[in-house]
Amino acid sequence: MRYKNVYLSIGSNIGKRYYNIIKAIFSIDQLKNTEVLEMSSFYETEPIGFVVQDDFLNIAILIRTKQKPYELLKNINFIEKELKRERKIRWGPRTIDIDIIFYEEYKIKKNDLIIPHKEYQKRNFVMIPLLEVIRNKRIKKDLLKNINLLKGKVKKIKNHNPILISSCLYGVNCKYNGGNNYDYLINKLTKKINFILICPEILGGLATPRVSVEIYNKKAINRDGVDCTKQFEKGAQESLKIAKKTKSEIAIMKLKSPSCGIGKIYDGTFNSKLVDGNGITVIAFLENNIEIISR
């Protein structure tokens, strides 16, 4: 099966809305045979329905995937479940809502899946973000016909409090070997949000390049056997100072890193083996209620 272009609408109005949406986008990008190609700006929108609730944050994304519609729907529902989506009230508040708006030019009309999405032309919070990412000329023409008929406030915004991002993911050459971990999706995201780049190891006083470090018995030990724990702890505290000063509540961190990894880190043997655990900066962030997204 060849890759198909699919347009998704994502919204959140419970909890840390930026965390919910960015986490969802990265989770979608990690699906098998799937890649996020484009993302719109973030929009704050009035809720639909009769339930008193907070405003939504909304975004549209373009993905390409080899997953068939029902396979993609199943995986989207799983991502929603992981982000604690509860379906109690129709059009009620939710941590995350991911809708398939278009799947190429397929037309599907089943009880559990309708493509194109049956309500999209009535929803400015879907239509306006879609216009930023749409590549299909025919669909875009139809969107433009209906856009001026819609009512309700939709406001393009950037998060007030910046999101912390590991510098190496942005393309800064601050890795132990003098290189970086440039991430194309991080690059797209940073055009839509306020952000601050951090490298805890540089903030802790370590040079670039430097001898690689892994965590062993809760200490940061480099390949030559030198204990670098003090520098890593200093870097964690300096990073935390930045987070507190800027009131940052979200950090996008490099996975597996002795500073920035969450859930899994290298085991200290320098044999590419992973163990359960968190990097030293991530531990400090979690203790201070900063949400971590791993990339």
Cβ atoms of 232 and 200 within 8 Å: the answer is yes
For residues 262-276, b (16+ Cβ closer than 10 Å) or e, as one string? beebbbbeeeeeeee
Active-site residue flag, 2: no
* Helices 124-133/137-146 angle, 10° precision: 140
Tokens of 15: 């909890």
- The catalytic residue among 85, 123, 183, 295 is 85
| Structure confidence at residue 148 (pLDDT) | 63
- The catalytic residue among 17, 64, 90, 99 is 99
| Structure confidence at residue 126 (pLDDT) | 87
- Along the chain (295 residues), what's the average pLDDT of each consecutive run of 10 residues? 95 94 98 98 82 83 97 96 71 83 93 86 84 88 71 80 98 98 97 98 98 97 98 98 98 98 97 97 98 97
Domain 4-157 has CATH 3.30.70.560: yes
Return d(Cα 115, Cα 100) in angstroms, integer.
Answer: 7
Active-site residue flag, 99: yes
- The catalytic residue among 2, 55, 87, 94 is 94
| Structure confidence at residue 111 (pLDDT) | 86
Domain parsing of the chain, residue ranges? 4-157, 163-294
Burial of 103 (0-12, 13-18, 19+ CB in 10 A): buried
pTM of this structure: 0.93
How distant, in Å, are the alpha carbons of 20, 48, 245 from that of 54?
15, 11, 27
